[in-house]
Amino acid sequence: MSGAELARTHASVDAYYSSKVESFGATPGGVDWTCSATQNLRFVQLLRICDFSADLSLNDVGCGYGALLAFCRERHPDRAIDYVGVDLSAAMVRVAQQHWQAAPGVRFVVGASCPRTADFAIASGLFNVCQSIATEEWESFVRATLRELGFRNVKALYIVKDLGTDWIDKGYPVTRGG
């Protein structure tokens, strides 16, 4: 995928999610989830890779307004979590920063890649909405994004089975799901 194509796809994703958060604020609807139950169910599954037996650092890519952090804090109140949330939507990051109001150990940045390495990295819902982008271009976008993220600290990428890519052949740490 060329730099221009990547920028165009980012702009399209940015426009989609920025309009959601501008309409619905720091709520599941603001990140295009139907409700907090489905949003949280994903967190339960994704956080299975994390070890909460000690304090930890966590990168949340495509963080939205930081609902993952709220979920972690509620589930693991005794753990210090050094958290960085990254989102390509500046509107989303603004809402996240307002919502979290300079909480210690919490940082939100605009971007499409992690500004640091952490113990764990989670990306929930990053590739949910391809809008009218053609499948081939979208798959190429997914590949480019994963390369950009560098697979640092990723133990396994869980991909729905109909995504139609040959991730395992390419050496990515993939688990296929339904």
Is residue 13 involved in binding ligand SAM (CB under 6 A)?
yes
> Contact at 8 Å (CB) between 69 and 96?
no
Pattern 114-153, binding to ligand SAM, x per CB under 6 A? ----------xxx-x----------------x--------
* Distance separating alpha carbons of residues 77 and 71, to the nearest angstrom: 10
Choose between 56 and 65: whose C-beta lies nearer to ligand SAM: 65
CB of 106 to ligand SAM, least distance (A): 15
40: CB partners within 8 A, 6+ apart = 71
Interface with ligand SAM (CB under 6 A), residue from 5, 8, 24, 32: 32
Task: Write down the least CB distance from residue 31 to ligand SAM, Å.
Answer: 4
CA distance 29 to 108: 20
Q: Please provide residue 56's backbone torsions phi and psi, each rounded to the nearest 5 degrees.
A: -150, 160
In angstroms, what CA-CA distances link 17 with 24, 34, 86, 119, 158?
Answer: 10, 14, 14, 27, 23
Minimum gap (Å) between residue 92 Cβ and ligand SAM: 5
Contact set with ligand SAM (CB under 6 A): 13, 17, 31-32, 39, 61-64, 67, 86-89, 92, 112, 124-126, 128, 145
